[in-house]
Structure 1
């Protein structure tokens, strides 16, 4: 893996994706972003590492525009402005993240063997929870 940390843009593939977005015309950037989680969320026997890394980066961009989100772009993310992303991308990003951490994901396999694997998984969970917050159990709401 050309990876230097566990953040969404902390690998070569995601950094290249950020560059691709910068090179795309402003009106095309939403389509470029949409294509990534759409591909990752599509039914498949196996999700390759590059599709997984791009899906995490795209999800981070969607999270960054969510009212409860935070900027996820490091120095390696896109530097050009992004259009306002439509709300329907949120659930598409959730579906893609679910595939990224599934047992059919090369990226999840590789992170399972890495020292920072638990931190990576925790970061994916954080992104997912912004887009689709977990429903608190009845016990949690009582306290």
Structure 2
């Protein structure tokens, strides 16, 4: 696992997902696909979990102006530029995707459960995104 802390953007794979999202020519369709992949999966893979979590955090940033610790220099400017899109219809799928990532059928959750020191913080971080998106 290429993680250095429990936040959404504290993992190498999360930055890969962010780069792909930034390069998207149809960001709404791509985010919906990332959510659908984990919602419909019998077992949520590591990469798919990150793509869904990064997408959920991105929507949280755009809709709720949530500030994440992110090493991407232009993340906050980029999220402000995306306010022209209506991501609110994706909030429900984002919540379901977070639930899928936090389920017992998730590789990412399994890996985090091995970290007794940070697992609860990791889980609470994702639940806080879910809570904001449910509002």
Alignment of 1:72-111 (within 5 A): 72=68, 74-76=70-72, 79=75, 80=78, 81-82=81-82, 83-111=84-112
Gapped regions of structure 2 (runs ≥ 5): none
Distance 2:113 2:73 in 1: 24
Alignment RMSD (CA, Å): 2.0
SS of 1:66's equivalent? Answer: helix
Alignment of 1:1-143 (within 5 A): 1-25=1-25, 28-42=26-40, 44-67=41-64, 69-72=65-68, 74-76=70-72, 79=75, 80=78, 81-82=81-82, 83-114=84-115, 115-133=117-135
Equivalent pairs counted in the alignment come to 129
Distance 2:74 2:55 in 1: 11
Hey, which of these two has a bigger chunk of helix by percent?
2
Contact 1:21 / 1:78 at 8 angstroms: preserved in 2?
no
Shift of 1:92: 0.3
Contact 1:9 / 1:15 at 8 angstroms: preserved in 2?
yes
Structure of greater Rg: 1
Task: Give TM-score, length-normalised by structure 1.
Answer: 0.80
